[in-house]
Structure 1
């Protein structure tokens, strides 16, 4: 799952016209690496939300800017793993919940 998420992120960045030829799991999303600005990071998270049926909080958005590609992929994989007992799972819907239902559940909290 993590590799699939990582590939999705790289493809999304490519479509956003970022040079991803030398991107690895260690490539920072922020100024030391891809230098994603807040708008680009927001665009990426919307694509991830749509693809995987998850929701990012404002706190998540602040944290994402400090991650590298591998950390982001791992965080998402953890959120999507049923029964994962990590802080990253807070606010996510149970496995098998549709993306629309998940969004409604997270929005209602």
Structure 2
């Protein structure tokens, strides 16, 4: 089972690979305009990376909603989906 910390590490690595400077980011940093400033295309890319790494998927509507989440809330959402997927 993947831990929250593994998901968070992955999220920061993915953002770095997407050319975002994560030095000033923490778990309370919002993914959208008030923080990381991910636009819809970048949110979609993050969603694809999550799908490739963890085998879970966010719908297009859910991707748009991710902008309102903090990094920690995003990681919690991924962990929740992983747990649900594992028990299915």
**Normalising by structure 2, what TM-score?**
0.90
Give runs of ≥4 in structure 1 deviating > 6 Å. none
Residue number in structure 2 paired with 1:15: 17
Higher helix share: 2
Please list the CA deviations of residues 10-32 of structure 1 after superposition, one character each: whole Å capped at 9, or x if unmatched. Answer: 00000111010111100000010
- Paired residue total: 86
Question: Larger relative contact order (C-alpha < 8 A, sep ≥ 6)?
Answer: 2
**Paired residue for 2:66, among 64, 69, 72?**
64
Is the CA contact 2:43–2:64 (under 8 Å) kept in the aligned structure 1?
no
SS at match of 2:86: coil
> Highest Rg: 1 or 2?
1
**Normalising by structure 1, what TM-score?**
0.73
* Structure 1, unpaired ranges of 5+: 83-93, 98-109
